[in-house]
Chain A
């Protein structure tokens, strides 16, 4: 125990002091209880905020999806309405012919023009063109004439750009009169092509 011992003790004490100093510093942060509690609350708050934000984001996305879906449905409904209107307009149209003739007159051509616009707008529409005759001819020749009438309409629609696979024709000859009477007015009404849209 002399100078060497004193030196060692001093060194040790210094080291201890130094050690305490460091220790004191290291312990300082956990030793602050207020800071620790705030952090947990903050975290929970933050998590809550994040959750809320996420929910809001989801709700927003849902709303957007919902709106998009409604828009789509609106659009679809509008299209359906448009298709239905097109169908109604097509099926209400008729073109008429002169006796023993399948020539398309100007009125028939403009009617077919309107039908072609609908057919081109809605590619899914399938059209049946019916050819009809009045009762003044005879049944078998009228069946052939009805075919010519339906075909005249069909070929004009093809010229106007309607796909041929959207259309089929049938002749009813004199079997389905529109007006089941025997006079000039009835005959003129019965010489016709009608348009049906397949479901």
Chain B
């Protein structure tokens, strides 16, 4: 994938059409708002840039379908069906001056995308994707891509979607991220990766053991995990550059829930004192010092973007509950008061929210607690168990695992509890998703 970065050239289309009509407010979505805003989007069928027939029209259809699939993950975009476009879904050209915006406006389309192709005999050629605000009749994003190979199409689509989401919400990291997760095959579990949209599924480890709790380093260069093999626990570190895995022994019998702090240090739950507590490791992955010691179980550290706050699960009150440790004032704040089994904390990058799973009479469900006012909100509703919530880097999406289909699979929702979308990861249970920056992007 890495070489695509050099082969795939993009340039900004400068042909912005002048603003027409009234000074309409731009289309912007506040993803941190109540989550009720909706933008109607339509992607016009691809067409040739020079009005000729496309030699390979199926390629245009593929790009369009991939754009539709990717943008369908954004809950604030509502696709308009082609049959609902008065006068037909086609555009006369891909540029603003060639588009009859009135029919799209009448069809209540807010955001229109056009795809223009200049196909070479062998290569896919040039692809231009434009995005228009229909009411203002102006182009808000235009990108051109020179593709050397068909394999570059998915990356092109992700790049365009990242920029479009950035334009709409101010943050496009959703399309620039990659998820690491556990996938079970037979008796073994390995770490795999996949984009949050379900593309680029890859096996990371092949260790013939049980690998658990993957965690990305902040630079996306490493994944740490627990390895259960040969009657013991080990800490595993996979390195992106070498594609190799190293294992480390640590004092005690258990190595649970490794997590990197934003400064690159690793926190992990170990039991050198005979009870699982959360410790810092040094740069060589050796025991440094305890973050806190308590007679009860302390596991699952999760850090905010500054590294000042660490959410964790602890059995110190008799049952597992969620707490937040503040490194600045050295205080521990209790987050959950309801329920008897609250685990799997994930603190939002801005440090304001903590997502966790709570055992209810119907199974585990995902809740989000607001640390500012102590309110919590249930955002998943099963059936089965909903576990392992993980905040995305933009703090808007949450990936989680759920047994709602009968086996554990990965799903995406948002902090607002939007309808979960399944992330395809193939056969075998998939659990414990964690977000990292995609270094191949």
Contact = CB atoms under 8 A, between A and B. Distances in A.
Contact of B299 (A128, A141, A172): A141
A138 B342 CA distance: 9
Contact of A172 (B228, B320, B343): B228
A138 B315 CA distance: 13
B318 to A, nearest CB: 9
B336 interface: no
A140 B256 contact: yes
B431 A139 contact: yes
A145 interface: yes
B189 A175 contact: yes
B317 to A, nearest CB: 12
A144 B431 contact: no
A151 B343 contact: no
Interface in A103-156: 128, 136-141, 143-145, 147-148, 150-151
B210 interface: yes
B119 interface: no
B271 A147 contact: yes
A189 interface: no
Chain B's interface size range is 35 or more
Contacts of A162: none
B344 A147 contact: no
Contacts of B107: none
A80 to B, nearest CB: 23
Nearest to A135: B385
Nearest to B319: A100
Interface residues of A, number: 24
Nearest to B212: A139
A136 B360 CA distance: 11
B257 A140 contact: yes
B253 A147 contact: yes
A171 interface: yes
Contact of A169 (B253, B256, B269): B253
A100 B296 CA distance: 13
Nearest to B184: A175
B233 A170 contact: yes
B297 A175 contact: no
A198 B232 CA distance: 13
Nearest to B277: A144
Nearest to A170: B231
Interface string B56-92: 0000000000000000000000000000000000000
Contacts of B275: 148
Contacts of A171: 233, 253-254
A175 B257 contact: no
Interface in B167-223: 189, 210, 212-213
A82 interface: no
Contacts of B357: 138
Given A136-B359, A140-B256, A140-B300, A175 B210 contact: yes
B254 A143 contact: yes
Contacts of A39: none
A43 interface: no
B138 interface: no
Contacts of A136: 359
18 contacts: A100-B320, A138-B388, A139-B431, A140-B299, A141-B297, A141-B320, A141-B344, A143-B254, A144-B269, A144-B276, A144-B299, A147-B253, A147-B276, A150-B253, A170-B232, A171-B253, A171-B254, A175-B228
Interface of B: 189, 210, 212-213, 226, 228, 231-233, 253-254, 256-257, 269, 271, 274-276, 297, 299-300, 313, 315, 319-320, 340-341, 343-344, 357, 359, 364, 387-388, 431-432
Closest 3 CB pairs of A and B: A144-B297, A144-B276, A138-B343
